[in-house]
Amino acid sequence: MGKLQFVVLLCVACGNDAMGPQPEAGNADAPSDGSLDGRTDAPMDASPRDAYRCTTDAGGGPTHTVYLAVDGVSLVRGNCNEATTSCTNLISADVAVPPLLAGNPNRQQVISDLVGQLQQTLAPYEVAVTTTRPATGPYMMIVLGGTCSQVTGSPLCSGLVTGFATQDCGNQVPSDIGLVFELPNFNGARYANVVMFEIGFAIGADTTSVQGDCMCQSCGGASTPCTLGIDVPIFAGCGGGTQDETRIFATAFGCR
């Protein structure tokens, strides 16, 4: 099992100084290629970096899956981060997460919008988004539903917290689990942005304060689709400096 990094709270509007890693100041000379420590680069490593933007088919590769658990799932507390067994260290006790927006008349529309936006944002990459649990792993599982306190029992929960995730520096864990909480007035687009953040976190991307970026830690309330940047200044969760998010996604999933 890969090493587990720290847990980050993704917030609707919490300030960067309120929680989470601090920005690294004046580090203009840091590597800008977003390379992942200890990881062998994917075959499309040939420069120029445009190759990472998945503008052309890189020749296929394994199909990856992001499973959105929106219909309720039982999570098991453990020192683990394993979607196939629903085992996670993000919770304080075993918990049955309720379905997302149970009883809400807009439920299906929200889920449809959420899936649609994710599929559009991830279209360049070799990754499928589904609400049906795969029969076998590996797959990433993003659990949506329940309140932060209800699901995690964590004292860190507040009305601003939209999700919990474990940062997987170097993407060593193949079947990560992320949690997204049910929040008032969140539509599909807003949920999609939170999920994108968690997917990035689970493949080793770092957090940023850049508005509109998918790894923006304090942009959880944004209702327009987030984007993946190329030279994004980041906090120092895995490294620091800047990161090429298109490269990180292409390395993790491959180009479609």
Binding interface with Ca ion (CB under 5 A): 168, 171, 173, 176, 202
CB of 22 to Ca ion, least distance (A): 24
Smallest separation (angstroms) from Ca ion to the CB of 140 = 7
Please identify, using beta-carbon distances, which residue of 58 and 252 lies nearer to Ca ion: 252
Residue whose CB is less far from Ca ion, 95 or 173: 173
CB of 252 to Ca ion, least distance (A): 7
Using the minimum distance from each CB to Ca ion, give the nearer residue, 126 or 176. Answer: 176
Measured from each CB, the residue nearest to Ca ion is 168
Minimum distance from CB of 176 to Ca ion (Å)?
Answer: 4
The minimum distance between CB 168 and Ca ion, in angstroms, equals 4
For Ca ion, the closer of residues 191 and 201 by Cβ is: 201
188 phi, psi to nearest 5 deg: -60, -40
CB 143 within 8 A of CB 97: yes
Angle, alpha carbons 59-232-189 (nearest 5°): 75
**Closer CB to Ca ion, residue 168 or residue 206?**
168
Least spacing, CB of residue 204 vs Ca ion, in Å? 7
Nearer to Ca ion, 97 or 202 (CB): 202
